[in-house]
């Protein structure tokens, strides 16, 4: 057995899988509740007579709240761990969904979106930290297991909306929010593990960047990672917020059939997230980032020009390949800045929330102006930004040197 394989096997032997699976389950619940907002857009659009721009602004408010708060929460908890903050975040998400269910006006819908954003902003930095603490050194595997729960939760959102919310109307959102009670129980137990195992102590000061890199190199690499996330999540925003509308407009599908297509896409995203982390542990983060961003380009360019069956197939390929990037990017960033796990996780999760929100608002206005098909035509060029991966340093080679 090679030295690298032996090290990986030893790391996995120390991995606390019950904690990782519990964290992944909580991520599933959190992101399922979050995904109910975009999945319920057709209901909200009809009930409040919303334009595409108003739908986009609703997403913008929700995701901007999360994007602004997550890095600050992560930075704060890097210095002052808060193991029991996770249940509070889940309670905020539940309150946000309940507000959406009974909102009398568009303004109240916006306040419900803010509460949903607050719930995510608390959950992601701390839950990502717990996943890394339980990894036993297999950081990519841990991040993938954590991420797959969120992706499956996102996939379940439109499915729950299709078969539970649509028949009952907006009140179905309030009933589904009760699933968060299970998350509160499990998150309280995770906070207890975090505290009992000595993780909830203030860390000692020390070097906060990778020892083989200068501060300038770290800043350049972080800028490249953020640019890659920009291309990935603006493109994904077209699917998250407007894929259902695209399928209905382009092929005349019913709302339920279109939401099933979206569920299949999100399931492919979940599968890609599972693959990305372990592959990154074995071959390195940079090759995974290369393939997962730039490799999507030919499929993305083809998608707006095919029929419904081919659209479903291409969306599965796109979702699987592009999703493998995020676990690799998160772990790469954590290795760039050791000791700042919460801040890096909060920055990345917050950035994709913000980019997704701004992207959704801009794409919504563009759809009102030029049509929903034009949005998918324009977004198909975004994966070309994957060429920026060439500017990332190879951390494995530097550690070996």
* pLDDT tops 80 at residue 12: no
Examine residue 20 and state whether it is found in any structural domain, yes or no.
yes
Report for 165-169, 246-250, 343-347: range of highest mean pLDDT: 246-250
What's the average model confidence in pLDDT over 309-315?
92
Residue 384 has a CB neighbour count (10 Å cut-off) of 15
Report in angstroms the alpha-carbon separations of 328 from 8, 205, 249, 281.
Answer: 16, 26, 35, 9
Kindly tell me the burial class for residue 368, based on how many C-beta atoms sit within 10 Å of its own C-beta (0-12, 13-18, 19 or more): middle
pLDDT tens readout for residues 185-222: 999 998 888 877 755 454 445 545 555 677 788 888 88
Examine residue 4 and state whether it is found in any structural domain, yes or no.
no
**176, 36 Cβ separation under 8 angstroms:** yes
What pLDDT score does 10 carry? 41
Nearest-angstrom CA–CA distance, 223 and 200: 30
* pLDDT tops 50 at residue 227: yes
**Which helix (H) or strand (E) covers residue 232, if one does?**
helix 215-251
pLDDT tens readout for residues 232-250: 888 988 888 888 889 998 8
DSSP label at residue 165? I
Examine residue 8 and state whether it is found in any structural domain, yes or no.
no
Examine residue 208 and state whether it is found in any structural domain, yes or no.
no
> What's the domain count of the chain?
1
Examine residue 222 and state whether it is found in any structural domain, yes or no.
yes
What's the average model confidence in pLDDT over 359-377?
86
What mean pLDDT, rounded, does the chain reach? 81
Examine residue 2 and state whether it is found in any structural domain, yes or no.
no
What is the CATH number for 248? 1.20.1250.20
**29, 120 Cβ separation under 8 angstroms:** no
DSSP label at residue 24? H
The pair of three-digit structure tokens given for residue 263, joined into one six-digit string: 């569920």
What pTM value is reported for the model?
A: 0.69
* pLDDT tops 90 at residue 317: yes
pLDDT tens readout for residues 26-36: 999 998 888 88
- The whole domain housing 305 covers 15-199+213-400
What's the average model confidence in pLDDT over 129-152?
81
- H helices of 252-340, in order, are 255-283, 285-294, 297-302, 308-323, 325-336
Examine residue 1 and state whether it is found in any structural domain, yes or no.
no
Nearest-angstrom CA–CA distance, 260 and 251: 14
Nearest-angstrom CA–CA distance, 206 and 142: 24
Examine residue 204 and state whether it is found in any structural domain, yes or no.
no
pLDDT tens readout for residues 72-90: 887 787 777 777 888 988 9
């Amino acid at each position: 057995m090679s030295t690298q394989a032996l090290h990986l096997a030893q790391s996995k032997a120390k991995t606390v899988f019950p904690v990782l699976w519990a964290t992944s389950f909580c991520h599933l619940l959190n992101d399922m509740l979050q995904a109910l907002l975009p999945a319920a857009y057709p209901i909200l659009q009809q009930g409040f007579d919303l334009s595409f721009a108003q739908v986009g602004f609703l997403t913008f408010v929700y995701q901007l709240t999360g994007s602004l708060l997550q890095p600050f929460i992560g930075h704060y908890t890097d210095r002052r761990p808060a193991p029991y903050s996770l249940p509070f975040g889940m309670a905020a998400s539940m309150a946000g969904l309940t507000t959406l269910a009974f909102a009398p006006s568009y303004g109240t819908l916006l306040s419900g979106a803010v509460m949903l954003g607050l719930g995510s902003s608390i959950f992601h930095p701390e839950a990502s930290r717990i996943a890394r603490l339980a990894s036993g050194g297999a950081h990519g595997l841990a991040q993938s297991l954590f991420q797959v729960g969120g992706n499956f939760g996102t996939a379940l959102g439109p499915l729950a909306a299709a078969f539970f919310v649509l028949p009952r109307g907006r009140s179905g959102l309030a009933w589904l929010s009760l699933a968060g009670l299970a998350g509160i129980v499990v998150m309280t137990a995770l906070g207890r593990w975090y505290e009992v195992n000595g993780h909830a102590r203030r860390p000692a000061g020390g070097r906060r960047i990778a020892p083989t890199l200068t501060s300038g190199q770290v800043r350049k690499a972080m800028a490249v990672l953020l640019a890659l996330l920009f291309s990935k999540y603006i493109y994904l925003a077209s699917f998250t917020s407007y894929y259902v509308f695209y399928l209905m407009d382009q092929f005349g599908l019913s709302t339920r059939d279109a939401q099933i297509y979206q569920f299949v896409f999100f399931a492919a995203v979940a599968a890609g997230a599972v693959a990305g982390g372990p592959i990154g542990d074995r071959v390195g983060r940079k090759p995974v980032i290369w393939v997962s961003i730039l490799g999507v380009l030919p499929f993305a360019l083809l998608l707006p020009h095919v029929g419904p069956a081919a659209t479903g197939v291409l969306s599965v390929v796109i979702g699987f390949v592009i999703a493998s990037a995020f676990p690799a990017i998160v772990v790469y960033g954590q290795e760039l800045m050791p000791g700042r796990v919460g801040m890096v996780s909060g920055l990345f999760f917050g950035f994709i929330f913000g980019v997704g929100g701004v992207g959704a608002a801009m794409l919504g206005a563009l759809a009102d102006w030029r049509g929903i098909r034009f949005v998918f035509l324009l977004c198909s060029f975004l994966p070309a930004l994957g060429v920026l991966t060439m500017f990332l340093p190879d951390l494995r080679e530097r550690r070996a040197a």
